Structure 1
Amino acid sequence: MTAETLAVGKARTPARPSALRHLITPAAIVVALATLYAWVSTLELDSIERRSINQAVLVAKTVEHVQMTVAATALVVVIAIPLGIVASRSRNRFVTPLILTAGNLGQAVPCIGLLVLCTFLMGVGFQTALVGLVAYAVLPVLRNTMVGVQQIDPALIEAARGMGMTKGQILRRVELKLAVPAILAGLRTALVLTVGVATLGAFVAAGGFGELIINGLKLNRMPVTIVGGVLTACIAFFIDWLGGLAENLLKPRGI
């Protein structure tokens, strides 16, 4: 085998992503949490601070924050992906502007204002925060679903029809599979947005780390505010890391 052949073979072999690259984010999160713990351990906390950032409270706030994020994202998937498919069809061009307008509305209106409006209609609590989060996070998934479906080569659709596939089979086996990378990218963005915006759920008594941040600011207890902010950021980075792994694992081969 000649050197030229070896060079061609190496050029055709796709570069495998280094496992080390996937460990950078979780390692950084561990370092951030360890640093935060070490810093808090050196402080002389008063009674208010001890009640706000003890283990039981932090676990409860983590559960509340993750519940809001997961529930809102699940609803976004159920709502945005079907609407994105409908809006991507040329025969639905009269409905597409209405769908996009509805999707844009959530981000056009400030989230805190939307939560206040929902409070007048629904009262306070978890469900009110959920409405605001879904409205704010639906646009990235909606847009990416449309783009992912529309960018598929029409020749592939024609080939699938020539094989005798029905419209439903083409959608499931061809269009959605090829649109997976774009949809996952939108979902990843929506997840990170939801983690950050979920802190505003504290204004409608939905819990989460927003309560620590707001209480720390109101009571002038900076350790409480910093703990809430750092933990929120760590969850956002961790979810973004999981989203990146999902993109690599679920995207079709060859894309």
Structure 2
Amino acid sequence: MRPISDRWNAMTSLAPPSEGRPVIEFREVSIAFEDPPRRVLDRVSFTVHKGEMRIILGPTGSGKSTILRLTIGLLRPDEGQIFVNGHEITALSEEELLKIRQKIGVVFQEDALFTSMTVAENVAYRLLEQGYALEDVEAEVRRTLRLVGLEHAYGMMPNELSGGMSRRTAIARALVGDPEIILYDSPLAGLDPVIGRRISRLAMRLRDLRGVTSLWITQNMDEVRYLASHFYERTADGKLLFRRESERFCLINTKILMLAQGRVIFDGADELFWNARDPVIRQFLP
């Protein structure tokens, strides 16, 4: 297994979205919950290609988090099809789903750390579950913690962490093992702005330099503007640049999907979103 640091240094250029097969695809997906009875998603369709970030917006209860749980097979739709890397996951067994999930990192809103494990053990868990050698796991965990600025917290317990440290631990756990897809469920909720910007920039580095495909759930319009208007680029001489919006790149790899009452009411570039006239969208705009 190549160390994260080696993989990171190998990133030399922007990775524009692939025009081939979508990495994530929803086709007319519907799902209802029984308690209380309600239709959470109603014929939802969208595609996300390699290297794209799809920001998912919507009022509370509009089905945003349900989309993430459907994407990793924790829920199954009542109708429609879901594809991940070309595999229709709606019909897969739990064993087959586990193989799909090995390529997906998930940052849940509630962090969901194992309280009886140290920070390092939490981050190492998925690697050990996948059968990596112990010496490789330790090296990978240390590099990943360094990436999120938590190398000093290696042996700490979850109850010793601040809210920001706990969230960064959850993100490290999602990043370890070099996943192709990362799902972020309101990752900045409750964090101070400085930590929030740091996490946003990390997500953008993965998007822009490594071509990671991601879904990012939020209700915060400042997050949307920041993610859709900044990008990373590595120059030919190896210099890493962080720049503001560019039609050449940023607007084609970061798009917005907005839900209302379980249906898609917007799916497209951020510049179109800011100018939309839909009354539900206007309520979200500052």
TM normalised by structure 2 equals 0.22
Structure with greater Cα Rg: 1
Higher relative helix content: 1
